[in-house]
């Protein structure tokens, strides 16, 4: 459910509405005032009528609506707010929720010191997509896909070039062919077991379909690749607050990812708290606090060097008392020794469970997608210590090692839930195995 709770129909459902029946809605404080003063502003009604016509004839996609809505807007200001209220009204968004959306966006702009459209457009689109539950929309997905493709371009170039070369030499799908295919996959860091499983499936499919067409082979390859990637099961939300323990070695993007997750939940109407469990450095606490302010969510911290388990315990106590829906617990990624870090994490996990049954409800390991084989040992280490329920991959916009990523989630059977595609709050999207396979193989 999006931030806007009671939207019954989106634009799609309104396309058949007769334009003639349209009555100019009262959209903003300004126009209300004008009405009261008796100066019905003809121009005002006209732009709304014009805009509505344009929106009605456009493809019902958020990015296109925004293009139309923002066409002569260069900066944040009254005109922008008026346009947004107009959009919300036409989408049946309750006025108080529309107002709250705009207020929160204004606050964010101020916090970020942004004013020009280029600076805030993608954030606005992201917020709208989340609030209106439009994230699965095609255009949202293709934005993600482009970034993903760029990030994976190196692996893709390597893999596709070699697979194409192999296919141009032979489509016999005999022992030699499969041996070479295995070699290509292992060279791309896909991992031994994953390679064997994939090749096994491909053998069956090519036999079943009596395949000879190289293009069809590539399609099957993508399908099987996507099927191999574990998917997150349907989760039942626990009794609030839901506690999410964030894990990962230093520098992988853990804190940024917490902010991105917290932001998504907040945009979806949840009351969120960030707990500064990385007490190793004062800067880590401050960084999290800055994010909490930007997002406008709750924050709990103690001074640097305090016991992280105590921070987690107290944060959760407060979250329970104050009716929070979700608590994200940040943790340190670096301590004097690995043993220390793992013991600390175990303790945090224990005390969370004491404070609230079943907590932590999710343990999320953050991995940097540009790391090579090292990522595998990170998964092993954290999984053995506290168990990893899901993986979030960051920096897929960089020169990501696509093969390694694949190997990890398949070998450990841990689903990837989100991918980070940049440093900003809106740069994170749910992970889609099909898209990933498509981006990897082109």
Ligand X SMILES: Nc1nc2c(ncn2[C@@H]2O[C@H](COP(=O)(O)OP(=O)(O)OP(=O)(O)O)[C@@H](O)[C@H]2O)c(=O)[nH]1
Nearer to Mg ion by C-beta: 81 or 291? Answer: 291
Question: Where does this chain touch Mg ion (CB under 5 A) — which range of 153-161, 220-228, 253-261, 369-377?
Answer: 253-261
Count Cβ atoms below 10 Å from residue 234 Cβ, excluding itself. 5
Residues of this chain, 7-26, that bind Mg ion according to CB under 5 A: none
Nearer to ligand X by C-beta: 91 or 249? Answer: 249
- Interface residues with ligand X (CB under 6 A) are 248, 250-256, 278, 284, 333-334, 394-395, 397-398, 420-423, 427
Nearer to ligand X by C-beta: 84 or 341? Answer: 341
| Alpha-carbon gap, residue 411 to 198, rounded angstroms | 12
CB 84 within 8 A of CB 66: no
Nearer to Mg ion by C-beta: 132 or 284? Answer: 284
Minimum Å distance from CB 48 to ligand X? Answer: 39
Q: Residue with structure tokens 């090519």?
A: 206
Q: Is 331 in the site for Mg ion (CB under 5 A)?
A: no
Task: Name, in order, each residue with C-beta under 8 angstroms of 137's C-beta and a sequence gap of 6 or more.
Answer: 61, 62, 129
| Alpha-carbon gap, residue 217 to 163, rounded angstroms | 10
Query: Closest Cα partner for 371 from 348, 341, 349, 403?
Result: 403
Binder of residue 266, out of Mg ion, ligand X, none (CB less than 5 to 8 A by kind):
none
Minimum Å distance from CB 18 to ligand X? Answer: 46
Minimum Å distance from CB 423 to ligand X? Answer: 4
Residues of this chain, 282-311, that bind Mg ion according to CB under 5 A: 284
Nearer to ligand X by C-beta: 273 or 421? Answer: 421
Q: Within 58-116, where are the H helices?
A: 62-69, 78-90, 95-112
Nearer to ligand X by C-beta: 147 or 356? Answer: 147
Query: Closest Cα partner for 416 from 431, 404, 427, 428?
Result: 431
Nearer to Mg ion by C-beta: 83 or 254? Answer: 254
Find the Cα–Cα–Cα–Cα dihedral 194, 195, 201, 205, rounded to 10°: 150
Binder of residue 423, out of ligand X, Mg ion, none (CB less than 5 to 8 A by kind):
ligand X
CA dihedral over 428, 429, 431, 436, signed as positive or negative:
negative
Nearer to ligand X by C-beta: 69 or 440? Answer: 440
- Contacts with Mg ion by CB under 5 A: the residue count is 3
Q: Is 206 in the site for Mg ion (CB under 5 A)?
A: no
Encode burial over 146-158: b for 16+ CB neighbours within 10 A, e otherwise.
ebbebbbbebbeb
Helices 374-386 and 338-355, packing angle to 10 deg: 40
Minimum Å distance from CB 248 to ligand X? Answer: 5
For residue 420, the 8-state DSSP code is E
Minimum Å distance from CB 334 to ligand X? Answer: 6
CB 441 within 8 A of CB 225: yes
Q: Select the residue whose beta carbon is closest to ligand X and give its number.
A: 420
Minimum Å distance from CB 303 to ligand X? Answer: 17
Binder of residue 2, out of Mg ion, ligand X, none (CB less than 5 to 8 A by kind):
none
Q: Is 370 in the site for Mg ion (CB under 5 A)?
A: no
Residues 266-285, one symbol each (x = binds Mg ion by CB under 5 A, - = not), give ------------------x-
Count Cβ atoms below 10 Å from residue 125 Cβ, excluding itself. 20
* Tokens standing for residue 375: 């990522």
Q: Select the residue whose beta carbon is closest to Mg ion and give its number.
A: 255
Binder of residue 394, out of ligand X, Mg ion, none (CB less than 5 to 8 A by kind):
ligand X
Binder of residue 438, out of Mg ion, ligand X, none (CB less than 5 to 8 A by kind):
none
The region, left, alpha or beta by phi > 0 then psi within -120 to 50, assigned to residue 7 is: beta
| Alpha-carbon gap, residue 195 to 334, rounded angstroms | 33
Minimum Å distance from CB 352 to ligand X? Answer: 19
Task: Name, in order, each residue with C-beta under 8 angstroms of 353's C-beta and a sequence gap of 6 or more.
Answer: 359, 360
Minimum Å distance from CB 110 to ligand X? Answer: 21
Binder of residue 122, out of ligand X, Mg ion, none (CB less than 5 to 8 A by kind):
none
| Alpha-carbon gap, residue 259 to 306, rounded angstroms | 22
Q: Is 255 in the site for Mg ion (CB under 5 A)?
A: yes
Which residues make up the interface to Mg ion (CB under 5 A)? Answer: 254-255, 284
């Amino acid at each position: 459910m999006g931030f806007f709770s009671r939207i019954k129909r989106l634009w799609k459902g309104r396309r058949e509405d007769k334009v003639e029946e349209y009555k100019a809605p009262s959209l903003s404080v300004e126009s209300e005032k004008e009405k009261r003063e008796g100066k019905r502003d003809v121009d005002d009604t006209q732009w709304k009528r014009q805009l509505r016509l344009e929106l009605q004839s456009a493809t019902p996609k958020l990015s296109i609506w925004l293009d139309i809505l923002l066409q002569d807007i260069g900066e944040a200001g009254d005109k922008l707010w008026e346009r947004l209220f107009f959009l919300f009204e036409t989408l049946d968004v309750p006025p108080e929720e529309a107002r709250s959306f705009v207020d929160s966006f204004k606050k964010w702009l101020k916090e970020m010191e942004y004013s020009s459209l280029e600076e805030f457009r993608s954030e606005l689109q992201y917020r709208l997509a989340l609030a209106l539950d439009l994230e699965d929309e095609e255009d949202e997905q293709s934005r993600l896909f482009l970034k993903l493709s760029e990030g994976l371009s190196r692996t893709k170039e390597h893999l596709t070039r070699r697979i194409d070369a192999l296919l141009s030499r032979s489509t016999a799908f005999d022992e030699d062919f499969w041996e070479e295919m295995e070699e290509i996959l292992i060279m791309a860091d896909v991992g031994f077991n994953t390679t064997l499983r994939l090749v096994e499936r491909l053998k069956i499919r090519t036999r079943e379909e009596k395949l000879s067409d190289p293009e069809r082979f590539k399609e099957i390859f993508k399908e099987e690749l996507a099927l191999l990637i574990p998917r997150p099961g349907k989760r039942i939300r626990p009794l609030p607050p839901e506690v999410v323990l964030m894990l990962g070695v230093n520098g992988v993007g853990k804190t940024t990812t917490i902010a991105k997750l917290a932001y998504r939940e907040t945009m979806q109407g949840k009351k969120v708290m960030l707990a500064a469990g990385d007490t190793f450095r004062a800067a880590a606490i401050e960084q999290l606090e800055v994010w909490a302010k930007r997002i406008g969510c709750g924050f709990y911290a103690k001074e640097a060097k305090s016991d992280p388990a105590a921070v987690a315990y107290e944060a959760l106590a407060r979250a329970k008392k104050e009716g929070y829906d979700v608590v994200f617990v940040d943790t340190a990624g670096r301590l004097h020794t690995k043993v220390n870090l793992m013991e600390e994490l175990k303790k945090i996990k224990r005390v969370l469970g004491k404070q609230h049954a079943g907590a932590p409800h999710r343990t999320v390991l953050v991995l940097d997608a540009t790391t090579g084989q090292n990522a595998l040992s990170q998964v092993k280490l954290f999984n053995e210590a506290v168990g990893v329920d899901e993986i979030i991959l960051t920096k897929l916009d960089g020169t990501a090692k696509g093969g390694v990523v694949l190997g990890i989630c398949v070998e450990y059977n841990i689903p990837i839930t989100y991918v980070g595609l940049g440093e900003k709050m809106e740069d994170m999207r749910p992970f889609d195995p099909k898209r990933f396979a498509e981006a990897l193989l082109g």
